[in-house]
Chain A
Amino acid sequence: MLVLLPYAGALLFSVTDGRLITIGTLPRLVGLSNFEKVVSSTGPEFGLVVAASAVFTLGTLVGSLGLGTLLGLAVTSLRPKLRGPLLALLLVPWIIAGVVVGYTWKLVYDPQIGLANAMLVPLGVGRVAWLLERWPAIAALVVANVWAAYGVVLLVVSSALTNVPQSLILAGQVDGAGTLTIIRRIVLPNIRRAFLLAALVAVVSGLNVFDLIFVMTGGGPTYQTETLALTMYRLTFRRGDIGEGAAVTVMLFCFSLALAIVYVWSWQREARKWR
């Protein structure tokens, strides 16, 4: 009930003309017109927002899965004495609040005093205005979000890695398999189910992230980095159109639900293989 109630509320508001300034009064039912307004919006175009959301989410998925898995493999290859403290250290970005991560990376990307340009300038690369144009800004946001989100992948993957039978790895080594072959042929197939879970979490964290983007670009310039989560906030709290904001919430919920269904379906398919 506690889980479903907010969604039910959002669903209800999405078909009403609810506005922040008339919140005390009963809103009128308006059918699907809020969804129509959101989809046909020209400032910004809905396609622009969806594209930004898709690229940001995909980037987060690939980046955090890649980084989390690599670090997971590296950590589990260490002696157990070192493994715990290092894992704890590597999980720090994941436990930091999104707002703090946002401000930190905003400073990193500062064209004048930022670390990113400070590293590039000695290499002969001119100062880059990271957050100014659409695609560099989205790429910069992805990097920041990967930094913030890889921890959950690392946690899931490294715990799965500890369950990979050492006998299989030893057998591979005896047969003369190299490290890459062992990872590709033995380790990764064994952690596939954990990988699926990590992927789902990474996708959802990419799709729903708000605070980091809000702090770093605010969705700008001119809506160029606005994702669905920011559209929801802008419509609800900046413009006060609760109905339209709720429509975006419902869309986000549907995307997340679809992903969860895909995950459950994939997981069950995997489980069947192991029976």
Chain B
Amino acid sequence: MRIRPVAVVATLAFIISACTGGAQPAPSASAAAATATEPTGPVTLHMFIRNYMLNQDSPLKTAKADFEKKHPNVTIDLSPAPYDEQHQRILLSKAGGVQPDMFQIDTIWLGEMADQGLAANLDSYYAKWADRSDVPDSFLESSKWKGSYYGLWAYSDTRTFIWNKDIFRKAGLDPEKPPATWDEVVSFAQQIQAKVPGVAGVGFPAAAQEGTADRWYPYLFMGGGSILNKEQNKSLFNSAAGVKSVQFLVDLVRKYKVTPAEVLTQDADAVYDAVLAGRYGMMLATVGDGWADSKLDGPAYKTKMGAAMPPLCDGCKPASAAGGWLFMMNSKSAYKDLVWEYMTTATATPNITPFEVKLVRVPVRKSGLAQAEAFKADPYNAVTVQAAGVSQFAPWVPAYYKVVEHIYTAIQKAVQGTVPVKDALDNAAAEVDKLVK
């Protein structure tokens, strides 16, 4: 079991400075990728990717066009899939069927894919890669499993607090001033419920899904809590910080009644949609700043919605959680050099930036982070950048899927009021310890 020293922390200073000035020359896509030998006959490279990657040209369609022009014998087959299906089909590809030459993975799958021999060891490619110095250390570290490189970061994302400004206006609150503390979250939510009938004060996901844990992590981290210890062989989420942060969720529902118990049936997308639709005044954490999912242009979104760092508890420090996606090369691919060239072409800063801007993703290259100008369309880019600087990743251990089930079930039990917070977390921690020891 390996450490998940998480944190985009090392990037913090860099990200902030980079996005506020300090421009660096962006390596061109062509310069970033060494050219692989042209195959003598027709070749199709199969890429298992997430479905939303094809909603815009950048980065995969543009890279495909460039690549196929450069390699006339090669056809890139981009095969999209939703989240769960993507995970399953990569694992199942081991048993037969279409073998992807490259596949896109959530950061939490890295250990699992590497451990099972699905992913190719990329050490030799990283050693020769001209753009390696363009990747911040924290992302390089989180591309590794047991000391070797297995993934190539594509883009990252952070968690931020969001609120509906229209609801704030109706409640007599300053729409430009979000709550800065947990106490303010409660008082703002109470004011919303008192002044705007039919609107719940604040929402968070509490359904039986990974997102329930994911959106809670910033509140765990801000109190100094962690999910696992550094060795990743013991639970820490049942610490005082863990209990305090889950108790906050429970209190919102049961004590202050500013969050409806229906959150137990709502996943993160449902809560986000409810905030956008004006059924919730605020949401404790969402991916990015929410703009990408709103279908509104930047100015319209900024008028309607606000995004800020997650509000703090007493004695807490600013924190957020980060996730993201990497590309992996299949260990069985017969065209590794071509795959590496495509991966690096697709993730090269000029090629991927339009995608990152549109979907409010955080760049994983120093040259991308330096492109503050490109991200101007995103109304809350400064917030996501700030969040990236204090973010930690979820563990990327092979058992994470089982770990997270215990965590979100504990949160559910506590919110439901069937088990005291401390007991729920302790019971979950005991189960998780069996998985990660």
Contacts and interface: CB of A to CB of B under 8 A. Distances in A.
A237 B261 CA distance: 28
B280 to A, nearest CB: 10
Interface stretch (B12-20, B37-45, B66-74, B398-406): B398-406
9 contacts: A21-B112, A24-B95, A131-B262, A132-B262, A217-B265, A218-B265, A220-B207, A222-B208, A240-B401
Interface stretch (B178-186, B349-357, B372-380, B411-419): B411-419
A113 to B, nearest CB: 7
Interface residues of B, number: 33
B398 A21 contact: yes
Interface of A: 20-24, 43, 110-113, 129, 131-132, 217-223, 237-240
Nearest to B404: A238
Instruction: Choose among B94, B112, B265 the residue with the greatest number of A CB atoms under 10 Å from its CB.
Output: B265
B398 A20 contact: no
Interface of B: 84, 88, 91-92, 94-95, 112, 115-116, 198, 200, 206-209, 260-262, 264-265, 267, 279, 398, 401-402, 405-406, 409, 412-413, 416, 418, 431
Contact of B401 (A113, A131, A223, A239): A239
Contacts of A219: 208
Given A218-B208, A222-B208, A43 B409 contact: yes
Contact of B265 (A22, A112, A220): A220
Contacts of A113: 279
A131 B263 CA distance: 10
Contacts of B200: 112
B418 A43 contact: no
Given A24-B95, A237-B84, A237-B88, A218 B209 contact: yes
Main secondary structure of the interface of B (DSSP, over half): helix
A136 to B, nearest CB: 12
Contact of A221 (B116, B208, B398, B405): B208
Nearest to B415: A221
Contacts of A239: 401-402, 405
Contact of A112 (B206, B261, B279, B412): B279
B427 to A, nearest CB: 9
Contacts of B401: 238-240
Nearest to B209: A218
B84 A222 contact: no
Nearest to B398: A21
Contact of A129 (B91, B92, B260, B398): B260
A218 B92 contact: no
A231 to B, nearest CB: 12
Given A129-B260, A129-B262, A222 B91 contact: no
Given A218-B207, A220-B208, A221-B416, A21 B91 contact: yes
A132 B418 CA distance: 13
A132 B264 contact: yes
